[in-house]
Amino acid sequence: MDEILGQVLRNAVWERLDMLSELATRADAPSLLSVARSELPRLTEGWRAMLSAHEPDERGNCPTCSSRWRQQKAPCSVWRAAYEHLVAGGLAPAGGRHVRRASSSPRRVVAGAR
């Protein structure tokens, strides 16, 4: 029963993420603005809740990823993923090297064609 509930829960989350990705690529501007206003706070709240569970303890270990037999030094994989996706991956302008490179090359092509 727990396994089935777990699968239902995971599928619901994957479907929600798929829906948001779909909206980001296909929705018109007014719909996108409305979705952003309602969903961005939910997403940031979700990240905050998840990250607080992975805050290092006084010994610098992640209490959630550590077991009694094996300590996981911070930053754990959840914090590394958060950094990769929220900071290095492009949301923050200062860290968006991939985004800048990807968006600047088509512009250069267009500029060269004129």
User: x/- contact string, 23-62, with Zn ion (CB under 5 A)?
Assistant: -------------------------------x-------x
CA angle 61/46/36 to nearest 5° reads 145
d(CA 64, CA 66): 6
78 vs 82 by CB, closer to Zn ion = 78
22 vs 57 by CB, closer to Zn ion = 57
In the block, tokens 């550590």 appear at: 66
Instruction: Give CA separation, 109 vs 40, 52, 98, 100, 112, in Å.
Output: 33, 44, 18, 15, 5
Task: Indicate which single residue of 51, 64, 81, 96 sits in contact with Zn ion (rule: CB under 5 A).
Answer: 64
Instruction: Give CA separation, 99 vs 29, 48, 82, 106, in Å.
Output: 21, 24, 17, 12
Task: Indicate which single residue of 2, 76, 104, 109 sits in contact with Zn ion (rule: CB under 5 A).
Answer: 76
Show the tokens assigned to 5.
């509930």
- Residue 82, interface with Zn ion (CB under 5 A)? no
Residue whose C-beta lies closest to Zn ion: 76
For residue 53, the minimal CB distance to Zn ion (Å) is: 7
77 vs 105 by CB, closer to Zn ion = 77
Say which amino acid occupies 101. R
Where do contacts with Zn ion occur on this chain (CB under 5 A)? 54, 62, 64-65, 76, 78
